[in-house]
Structure formats: structure tokens, C-alpha cells
Amino acid sequence: MTGRHLPRRLALISVHTSPLAQPGTGDAGGLNVYVWQTATRLARRGVEVEIFTRATSSADEPSVEAAPGVTVRHVPAGPFDGLDKRDLPGQLCAFSANVLRAEAAQDPGYYDLIHSHYWLSGQVGWLARDRWGVPLVHTAHTLAAVKNASLAIGDTAEPMLRVIGEQQVVDEADRLVVNTATEGSELVDLYGADPSRVDVVVPGADLDRYSPGSKLAARAKLGLDPNDVLVTFVGRIQPLKAPDVLLRAMAPLIHADRTGRLRLLVVGGPSGNGAGLPETLIELAAELGVTERVTFLPPQAPDDLAQVYRASDLVSVPSYSESFGLVAVEAQACGIPVLAADVGGLCVAVADGVTGQLVAGHGIAEWTDSLAGLLADPDRLRAMGMRAAVHAEKFSWEHTTDALLASYDRALVGYRGVGGRGTGRFGLRRRRGRTRLTV
């Protein structure tokens, strides 16, 4: 890091989900993995990281030394239970107040930089940035305007409250970190972001944990038949992730399979608008007549998840929207090809025709045809898997950390305090450190 400005202490804000939560449960997913993996690696580079997240249990300690150089602060804001993510905007005042109090108890200049994750955290980071006089780096992870443009059937559009909140954070942040160049273009085109403040930082995978291994050993550990042909879905069970699309696409292939070996494995728990969906998927499997060929597993710890990938012949990511798609990279790192929707960052994560295949749209017939074509050629699948492991080596968390530190350097060098950012797409103009809606 010679010649770069390295923050001594980073305030990392993740309001709605803790990096200590199990991915695949509640609102925990790729964002949790991203926060934890980058925080621990930043700490190894000499940056002290303090993560602020909302307390969701009375058992949460106010401060937890989660790893060397990484502290997780559980911030009280609202009731522990029964608070949906859509209710959290009403608790941002309480959350922000407690974050500011934590800093006020320290010597002046305690934090050098703020990095907020998701728009709720960006709202808190914006306030803290102005109070502390340090730069704000923001990662959206998902964008309401993008999600609303490709809603799943039965899903609910993101509210205007979020769209406006995102616009405010885009206007205010000193640097905007995106997962792919496509996401950067979306920020510019849909939110009027200044391209000179956008940094592309590609997420990674834990390549020490996710690596090729024995398929037979993995199936034995998970209690799966060694002779099955296994297609796997991993993720939160919600309309956005489209597990129902995969289930419907698999059904005719299962009925046509005379060997009785074709099976779908669904790994994950309910989330957000997907509350109750595991039961809905079970009912759908019964309706389609494939109950006996579908296995449901709860969210898996990282080491067990690696075994899930290794046990699979093909991993599918049929999401309607993905800013990147960590599941796709993790599966490929284990040497497993991926069938994914041709959306968002999945176009970067998967090398179409080389390490897997991308499907345009979510038509069931198209997904069935793509599955049938891949599963009919085991030799091609194996070759894709070998190339997938090599492809995934480009996506390491060390590379991600390098790029984040470069973004932090630009934020520290270019920071000039509170100042106007012009007018965004929704007429939000900053005046003397405040934001107002112009008409």
C-alpha cells in the first residue's frame, strides 16, 4: 500500500443485517458475506474495522470482537423481533443517534472513513459523514429502480421511499462502489451518478474454502445418493431468486427421466417477500407431481455449503435481478458449472458457454431446454466444471480488498468536506449540507 492513504479505522455500517448472521436466513445473504470477508481482510492489511449493525436479540452483546481487528457493534434501534426490513426506515433516527453516540465517546478523529452497505446504511452514513467530517464510501448492493424493472410474478415493487432514499445517498456519497461496470452504468443512467465518483470493485469468493473436491465424499456427508443427477439451487427463498422457475423447468425433465436419478436440491430459507415460500415450493412440487425428486435443505454453514456445491452436477441461479451473484462464483470455484439468468452481474460471474450457460428471460420452456441440453452431455458438464474452477480464481476477496483500498484512497485524497453535488434524477438538491426536494 505504499503511496496510498490507508484509513486507520473504518466505520462500516450494515443496518439491516449482521455479518455474523447465517447467509440464507432472513435478510442474510451475499451482503453479509461481502461485509465479513472484506472486513477481515481489511483488518489483515492494518485497517481497524468497526461494524455497526442493528441488534436483533436481547442476547446480542453491545460489542463483539468478531475477529482480530474487527469489532461488531450491535446498535439498539426498535424491537428485537417482528421488524421487517421495510419497517426499518422508521428506526434510522434511533440507529443513527446510537452510532453518533458511540463515536462521541471516543477521541476526536476516531474514524477516518465510513463505508455504508445498502441504502438504509447510506442514510446513516450520510449523517455521520457530515457530523464527523470524514468521507463516505457507499455500496448499494441492489438498486430499487433495477429491481422494479424486472419484478418476479407475485413480487412487490420497491417503494418510492427507497428510490428517493437511494437517490439521496447517490448524491451525497464521496465514492460509489459497484460490483460491475453494468451496475455503474445503471447508477449513472437511472440515478444521475457522477461517473468520476464510481469505482468498480468485483466481489470474490473464499477460494480456500470453495475449491474442487470429491463428489462422492460430499454426497456421503450430505446423505445423498451417489448415482443421482443433481441440480442445485442455493439462496434465500423469495420471488426475486426465482426457485419456482427452476422447479417448474425441472418438472418435465423429471417426468421424462426413465432412470429415476434426476433430482432437484433446494438449499435456503425464507426471506423478505418470500415469507412462507418454502411451504409454497413444497406445495408446487406436489402440484407438479415431483415431490419425491425434490430435496429441501435449510441454509448451510460455509464449510457445509462447499460440500453442497461439490455434490452437485449443476448449480442454477435463476434470479430476476442480481448485482453480482456470489453463489455462481462459489459454485464455479468448487468446479461446478452454473446455469444462470442473463441478468446483472451474473453476466460477469459466469462465462457463457465456457463455465456454464446464461438464459435470456424466465420462460419455463427456455429454462427446460437449457437444462435438458446441459444434462444430456455429462462430458461437456465436466469440461465446463474444470474451466469454471480456473475462471473463479479471478474472483478472490484479496483482489476485492485491493480495489476497495484504492477506492478509499480516492475518497480520502478527494474529500473536501460537505459540499453541493448538483441535482439528481428526482430533483434532490443539496443546500448548505441539507437535502430538499425541488420541483
Give the phi and the psi of residue 76 in degrees, each rounded to 5.
-70, 130
Q: Does 407 count as an annotated binding residue?
A: no
Q: Does 183 count as an annotated binding residue?
A: no
Q: Does 27 count as an annotated binding residue?
A: yes
Tell me the residue ranges of DSSP E strands in 31-107: 48-54, 63-67, 70-75
Q: Does 279 count as an annotated binding residue?
A: no
Q: Report residue 228 as a C-alpha cell.
A: 443421482
User: How many Å apart are CA 177 and CA 405, to the nearest integer?
Assistant: 11
Q: Does 142 count as an annotated binding residue?
A: yes
Q: Does 98 count as an annotated binding residue?
A: no
Q: Does 23 count as an annotated binding residue?
A: yes
User: How many Å apart are CA 114 and CA 283, to the nearest integer?
Assistant: 45
User: How many Å apart are CA 45 and CA 408, to the nearest integer?
Assistant: 13
- Position of cell 449540507? 433
Q: Does 433 count as an annotated binding residue?
A: no
Q: Does 162 count as an annotated binding residue?
A: yes
Q: Does 322 count as an annotated binding residue?
A: yes
Please give the DSSP secondary-structure letter assigned to residue 59: T
The size of the chain, in residues, is 439
The partner residues of 357 in beta bridges, in order of sequence, read: 339
User: How many Å apart are CA 161 and CA 352, to the nearest integer?
Assistant: 37
Q: Does 243 count as an annotated binding residue?
A: no
Local structure of 358: helix, strand or coil:
strand
Give the phi and the psi of residue 59 in degrees, each rounded to 5.
-85, -10
CA angle 331, 405, 85 (to 5 degrees): 60
Q: Does 236 count as an annotated binding residue?
A: yes
Q: Does 312 count as an annotated binding residue?
A: yes
Within a 10 A sphere around the Cβ of 307, how many other Cβ atoms?
22
Residue 406, judged by CB atoms within 10 A of its CB (0-12, 13-18, 19+), counts as: middle
Is residue 301 within 8 A of residue 278, CB to CB? The reply is no
Q: Does 241 count as an annotated binding residue?
A: yes
User: How many Å apart are CA 57 and CA 335, to the nearest integer?
Assistant: 38
**Which residue ranges are tagged as binding site?**
16, 22-23, 27-32, 85, 118, 142, 162, 236, 241, 300, 309-310, 312, 322, 330
**Which residue ranges are tagged as binding site for UDP-N-acetyl-alpha-D-glucosamine?**
22-23, 30, 236, 241, 300, 322, 330
**Which residue ranges are tagged as binding site for 1D-myo-inositol 3-phosphate?**
16, 27-32, 85, 118, 142, 162
**Which residue ranges are tagged as binding site for Mg(2+)?**
309-310, 312
